[in-house]
Amino acid sequence: MAKYRTDLKDISFNLFKDLKVQEHTQDYGENDLKDIIIQFDKFAENEVYSCRVEGDEVGVKLTEDRGVVVPESFKKATKQYYENGWFALGYPEEIGGMPAPHSVSFACTSIYVGANCALSMYSGLSQGAMNVILQVGSDEQKAKFIAPMMEGRWGGTMCLTEPGAGSDVGASKTTASPNDDGTYSVKGVKIFISSGESDIYENNIHLVLARTPGSEEGTKGLSLFIVPRSQVNEDGSVGEYNNVKCTKIEEKMGIHGSATCELTFGGEGDCRGWLIGKEHEGIVNMFIMMNEARLLCGIQGESQANLAYELTEQYAKERSQFNKEIINHPDVKRMLLKMRAMSRGMRSLILYTSNLFDVEKTGDKLAEKELALLTPVCKAYCTDEAFQVTVDAIQVHGGYGYCTEYGIEQFARDTKIATIYEGTNGIQALDFVMRKILKDKGETFMALGAKIQESLANPIASKWKNECASLATSMQKAQTILEHYGKYANDKNFDAILASSTDFLAFCGNLIVAWRLLRGAIVAEELLAQGDEDKVYLESKALDFKIFCQHYLSRNAGIAQSILNFDQDWTTVEL
């Protein structure tokens, strides 16, 4: 049976050799940051991964007397997660945090999510809710909610989706009526609320989008409210029940250990909430949490793909067929090399993107725009491709992969949801093309393109002429596609753009990940020239780049032809 294993060497290479994130902090040296990741990985192996299967098999239960009940091992692991200070990683000391570069914090998050996606969602949603309170909450709200959430006594969620509305957040019917004491009475039903309720926390702090009296239709009329499961007393203790009830738990394909809830607010009495931020700015404030959640979705894909690869590689080295280990069969080796190249490529993209949070603090004006540009790519590309990696993992395991014995099929079931929630991948593509590229006339996209050109111009890149030529061609085709989109935009034919936006996001994902792997190969060659002794690993970086170009970047030729050479007149056809 394959053992839990994280490619710490690749994480360290990306962080400290390529991105040089140690330069973003004066609190820790490089070895200190490496030790944080090593220690977290040990925690993930012993406490997080160990209850992954139980969470899948036992799942969560909605009971009359105890509400939503999770597996006991989940409560134990979460308690230790907070007590060991891992939730505090990356937060400032003044709120009880442990400052560290965002990329290091995100590397640990990746390990956590990969080891047990369902478990990680409870603290992950709490973190997102707390971040909104930190950024736009009043001093009183911060004083009331931050400390117990940091300590792990209280959790948090975000509540957007409603029955019948789906992805159309602006169709929300939940209401918030003002009271004389400054509170609001919240009434409505929210569905698909991840980690919506559980017995992990003594109180859950819900961030709820609702419409105040007289507000206009659509997202512009929405405001954001803090609505706790139980009211909070003046001394900060948990008070009376606030009429927030879990009325249903969804039975799902995967992430069985995460309670996906229907929550009814004010269905059995008055439900009180507090406005956070300004009235009618709810969607703007909620997007503080949404954008982070979308990046976390990308991590959900990347992390599970990487762990699935590690387990599958071990299996292929142990499993013998036709008198030799199956890893030595060319077709199996092809699948494994493709899995590794894609998984490592996604890791490089995720860590590069998370590093932009710290680059932004240095005064780099492009970093914020680049972060916004890459977020939908991380979310959509990494989740789509990660799902395929997990499917390939099942294929390598053969019949055992289709069975539950090796736990591989769970990766596919747990990963698929990430392509759907926090804005479907189709919505990410719309955002990427319309808002992140066309809206700023391609300025940020071209600035990223300049970085790619810089890597292509590096003398070391000449070692891989065919691959770099393919990358350069993709850059040229991207420019041609954007000019093509510009003509549609001038004609106000936006449906023709949206019809291929998913394809273009995939095109750009292939392009950007190929660049990240090229960058890794260049850094690896520089280290080899300096006499670095880790020859086998460093040489694998060039192979990752070559394999990725052969099997993934090569797809861009077909995508470009599909977008440029075929009319989108089918958008007017009735089905």
Q: Buried b vs exposed e over 28-55: b needs ≥16 C-beta within 10 Å?
A: beeeebbebbeebbebbbebbbbbbebb
Q: Are 212 and 176 in contact (CB under 8 A)?
A: yes
| Alpha-carbon span 114 to 410, nearest angstrom | 12
Helix (H), strand (E) at residue 42:
helix 30-43
DSSP 69-108: E--HHHHHHHHHHHHTTSTTBTS-GGGT-B---HHHHHHH
* HSE, side-chain direction, 13 A CA sphere, residue 291: 20
What is the residue type of 118? Answer: A
- Other beta carbons within 10 angstroms of residue 214's beta carbon come to 6
Q: Are 137 and 145 in contact (CB under 8 A)?
A: yes
| Alpha-carbon span 119 to 70, nearest angstrom | 10
> Given the DSSP bridges, would you call strands 67-69 and 61-63 parallel, antiparallel or unpaired?
antiparallel
Q: What angle do CA 371, 372, 377 make, to 5 degrees?
A: 85
Residue 525 annotated as catalytic: no
Q: Are 229 and 299 in contact (CB under 8 A)?
A: no
> Given the DSSP bridges, would you call strands 244-249 and 260-265 parallel, antiparallel or unpaired?
antiparallel
From the list 422, 483, 525, 539, the catalytic residue is 422
Q: Are 272 and 186 in contact (CB under 8 A)?
A: yes
Residue matched to tokens 């093309």: 433
Q: Are 307 and 110 in contact (CB under 8 A)?
A: no
| Alpha-carbon span 132 to 155, nearest angstrom | 13
Residue 192 tokens read as: 């698909």
Residues 6+ positions from 26 with CB-CB distance below 8 Å? none
| Alpha-carbon span 62 to 260, nearest angstrom | 11
Residue 211, beta-bridge partner list: 175, 222
Residue of 568, 98, 110 lying closest to 302 (CA atoms)? 110
Backbone torsion region of residue 194, taken as left when φ is above 0, otherwise alpha when ψ lies between -120 and 50, otherwise beta: beta
Chain centroid to CA 74? 21
Catalytic residues: 422
